[in-house]
Structure 1
Amino acid sequence: MLDALSLGAGLSWASGLRLYLTVLLVGVFARLGIVHLPDTLSALASPWVIGTAAVLTVAEFLADRIPAFDSLWDAIHTFIRIPAGALLAAGSLGHADPALLTVAALAGGTLAGSAHLTKAGTRALINLSPEPLSNWIASSTEDVLVCVGLALALFVPLLFLLLMVGFLAFSSWALPRLWRGVQGGFRGMAAHMVSRLGSFGGKRD
Structure 2
Amino acid sequence: MFAALTGLGLSTAAGLNAYIPLLVVGVLANFTDRIKLPDGYEWLSNWGVLAVIAVLLVAEFVLDKIPAVDSVNDMIQTAVRPASGGVVFSATSAAAELDHSSWLTDNPWISWVVGILVALAVHALKSVARPVVNVTTAGVGGPVVSTAEDAGSLGVSLVAIFLPLLVIVIVVAMAVFAWWVFRVVRRRKRRRAAQPPG
For Structure 1 versus Structure 2, the TM-score category normalised by the shorter chain is 0.7 to 0.9
* Residue of structure 1 in register with 2:105 after alignment: 96
Opposite residue 73 of structure 2, the aligned amino acid is W
Moved more, 29-38 or 144-153: 29-38
1:130 deviates by: 5.6
* Residue of structure 1 in register with 2:97 after alignment: none
> Could you tell me whether the CA contact under 8 Å between 1:14 and 1:150 is conserved in 2?
yes
Q: How does 1:17-56 map to 2 (within 5 A)?
A: 17-33=16-32, 35-40=34-39, 41-56=41-56
Q: How does 1:186-205 map to 2 (within 5 A)?
A: none
* Residue of structure 2 in register with 1:201 after alignment: none
SS of the equivalent of 1:16 reads helix
Deviations 1:91-150 (A, max 9, x none): 3224822xx323222222221112111111111111224633311210111111112111
Q: Residues 88 and 181 of structure 1: is their aligned pair in 2 closer, same or farther, counting only changes over 3 Å?
A: farther
Q: Among the aligned pairs, what percent are the same residue?
A: 30
Q: How does 1:24-173 map to 2 (within 5 A)?
A: 24-33=23-32, 35-40=34-39, 41-94=41-94, 96-97=105-106, 100-129=107-136, 131-160=138-167, 162-167=168-173, 169-170=175-176, 173=179
SS of the equivalent of 1:128 reads helix
Opposite residue 140 of structure 1, the aligned amino acid is T
Aligned-residue Cα RMSD (Å) equals 2.7
Structure number having the greater helix percentage: 1
* Residue of structure 2 in register with 1:14 after alignment: 13
Opposite residue 10 of structure 2, the aligned amino acid is L
Deviations 1:129-172 (A, max 9, x none): 46333112101111111121111111111122x22441463266
> Could you tell me whether the CA contact under 8 Å between 2:15 and 2:120 is conserved in 1?
yes
Q: Give me the whole-angstrom Cα distance separating, in 2, the residues matched to 1:65 and 1:23.
A: 21
1:181 deviates by: 5.9
Aligned length: 186
> Could you tell me whether the CA contact under 8 Å between 2:29 and 2:37 is conserved in 1?
no
Structure 2 residue ranges without an equivalent (≥5): 95-103
Q: Give me the whole-angstrom Cα distance separating, in 2, the residues matched to 1:139 and 1:183.
A: 24
Q: Give me the whole-angstrom Cα distance separating, in 2, the residues matched to 1:183 and 1:79.
A: 27
Moved more, 129-138 or 68-77: 129-138
